[in-house]
Amino acid sequence: MVQKRDISIVICIAAFGLIAMLAASISAQNRIRDWQKAYTSSSEKPTAIAASLILEHFRFQNTLVGYYTNIDELKRVELNTRLNVYLSRLLLLETHKAQFLESPNKFKIEGLAPDTHTPILVATVKKLIDLGQPTLRQLEELINTGQPDDAQIKTRVNTLLSTLAEPLATLNTHAFERERYLDQIQVELSEQLRLRLWHAYLSIGLGIGLAAVSLMRRWHEKARSAANLKHINTKLRVKIRESERLTAELHFQANHDVLSGLYNRHGFNVQLEAILTSCSGKHGLCFVDLDLFKVINDTCGHAAGDTLIQEVSNLLLTNALPGTIVGRYGGDEFLMLTPDCDYIEFKSMVETCCIGMKSMKFEFNNQSFNTTGSFGATHFAAIDHSMQSLMAVVDAACYEAKRAGGGRVQFHSDNNELVEARQSDLNWVSKIHYALANNSFVLYGQKIASLRPDDKMLDDSYEILVRMTDTSGDVLLPSRFLQVAEHYGLAPRIDRWVVRRTFNWLNRHADEMSLKCLNINLSGRSVGDPEFLHFIEDMTEAMQIDTSLVCFEITETAIVGKLAKEFLRRLKSLGYKIALDDFGSGFSSFGYLETLPVDRIKIDGMFVQDIETNETHREFVKAIATVGRAMGKQVVAEFVQNQAAIDVLRELEVDFGQGYFIGRPERLLDHTEKQEAPSFSKRMPA
């Protein structure tokens, strides 16, 4: 009986142990199945979405680079298509947002740190959902409405991409980290299963045999789980390596210029800030602005400009001192930062770069150009400057080098005069912006009188001149603000204001006066700009202007390049007249007359103001008048100062005269003011 009882007890214990083992096994298996189900939905889908988002980001960025490299309509369509795909991926993120919100913390594992990746993923997903669609809409607007060659548009596009790059990288990284955390839970659950089986084995006591069978089964399951875990770990390592590679590539692209490979504005600023933070030693900073870069772009196209940028980048890198940081700060602007350097060595490096650029002959499509650059440099102690003050110093020095003719080096002196001059320019920029926003410009007209009254075909006309009123109501001459507006790219906006106001005035007053023509000056940045041409075409159609009453005055320096010539031919086809202003100030003045649709030649006033006493200037004006008559063009002399000058000009058979002796500028009042039309003086000196 005892033996039977013992056997029964053994059998009961064995059965109990078997049941306990089976219960533990079933419980663990159910827990594993629940976890695997959650793991499948919580790890693979989020990581797949994160990977697709980062992939679409780089595809869009590469398409954008291709678009800026070779701008055409097909590239723009491809870029918009890629942008739409990118947007659809972001919308997919919002659809599957719930899978990012499920936290693995519901599996309580002792000794395992709580999940820290899911909150980051939740915040990042929310940020991408809030930020992604508006940012991509802004990108779409910039791409479709902005100018591809506009450096500010490119900078804005890169900035918007950068705002998405960081959360995308965070999303991708923490999705993989969360997947690895889930794998840790998988390992811990497997360990729990092993412990439960061992407890079941001990509880069966005498049922060691049955426990052994159960243990064998457990080892088999463990081997299978280990194989699965190994496979998952292998995939995870591959994804981690790919994530690290993408993160490194993203970091490089965020800090480097795609075209030149140099640091971009952001990357260079980071390096400069690090130098300034050190507050030790003396360093060198140089600002480089290429001269006549726009001429090469307009003459040969943007492909030539890109090639020139690359060659200049190589030249600067080749001649830089060891440790020098070279960056491309804008379209044709570069910066060179040499930490802990001697003044003499730094100055020698800058001058070598300047000389090397002068001697570099740029060739593109069988055309050759001499390239130069304006260099503004300073040798500074980090403790004496902030980033803003330092950039103001080198920018001002570079501006002085360019204003002195370019192709030279200007070192900043300690008296800060350059900074003060540039600050004055920036103050004028602010005033111009205010005037444009508050309609604070006014128009004046100056008479252009016929010097040959016997010729009935020569009618008097007026040149439209722009003035600016300040906050106190004082009228400011264009010499105070136009040069600054031209330098900082504001001149085309002023041109648009002048054209719109002149056309409005002409529509209201053309029938009230015996006006035959109004001359409107256009800046160099407006000539050749397709958007400005479309503006004139739209204004012409909307207001139904009699185009024969308008003559656009263009300076010689503004008509270089194929786009400018096409611009003039289009204006001519619309019926507008064209006047070549400041004629004679360039080296190839007469050469333009054969190829341009010019109606009038306005002789540069420097040759007219002393014509009654300067024999050389008289002969020069005579030559221009003779060539103009031979080519069927009317000739206008500016800066007529006295009756003696008029007599000489009539003797030389110049058609028109303009100057204070003939008539001073008079205010044109619009319909909001009391006087409806100006009282232009009809007096003409005898």
Kind and range of the H or E run holding 48: helix 45-69
Which of the pair, 282 or 165, is modelled with greater confidence?
282
In whole angstroms, give the CA distance from residue 120 to residue 102: 12
More confident: 465 or 71: 465
Least confident of 214-218, 538-542, 543-547: 214-218
591 — pLDDT class (breaks 50, 70, 90) = low
User: What pLDDT band is residue 509 in, cutting at 50, 70 and 90?
Assistant: confident
User: Which pLDDT score, from 0 to 100, does residue 45 have?
Assistant: 65
Burial class (CB in 10 A: 0-12, 13-18, 19+), 425: middle
- Does the pTM of the predicted model rise above 0.85? no
Rounded to an integer, the average pLDDT of 383-397 is: 85
Q: How confident is the model at residue 167 (pLDDT cuts 50, 70, 90)?
A: confident
The three-state secondary structure class of 667 is: strand
pLDDT at 504 over 80: yes
626-651: average pLDDT? 91
- Alpha-helical (H) ranges within 96-150 are 97-101, 117-145
Asked whether the beta carbons of 8 and 137 are under 8 A apart, the reply is: no
User: Which residue has better confidence, 656 or 515?
Assistant: 656
Q: How many CB atoms lie within 10 A of CB 620?
A: 18
What does the pLDDT read at residue 500? 92
pLDDT at residue 417 is higher than 70: no
Query: What is the pLDDT, as a whole number, of residue 671?
Result: 45
Residue 679 clears pLDDT 80, i.e. is over it: no
**Residue 333 to residue 355: CA distance in whole angstroms:** 17
Q: In the chain, what percentage of residues exceed pLDDT 70?
A: 80
pLDDT tens for each residue of 259-304: 889 999 999 999 999 988 876 789 999 999 998 888 888 788 888 8
Both tokens of residue 358? 């002068």
Query: For the chain, what percent of residues have pLDDT higher than 90?
Result: 26
Phi-psi map region of 319: left, alpha, beta (phi>0 left; psi -120 to 50 alpha): alpha
Beta-strand relationship, 600-603 and 577-583: parallel
Q: Outline where 510-555 has alpha helix (H).
A: 530-543
Euclidean distance between CA atoms 363 and 377, whole angstroms: 28
Q: What is the pLDDT, as a whole number, of residue 108?
A: 55
**DSSP code of 585?**
S
Q: What is the mean pLDDT of residues 70-99?
A: 77
Q: What are phi and psi of 619, to 5 degrees?
A: -65, -35
pLDDT in tens, 300-348: 888 888 999 999 999 999 999 999 999 998 889 999 999 999 999 999 9
User: Are 497 and 521 spatial neighbours (Cβ–Cβ below 8 Å)?
Assistant: no
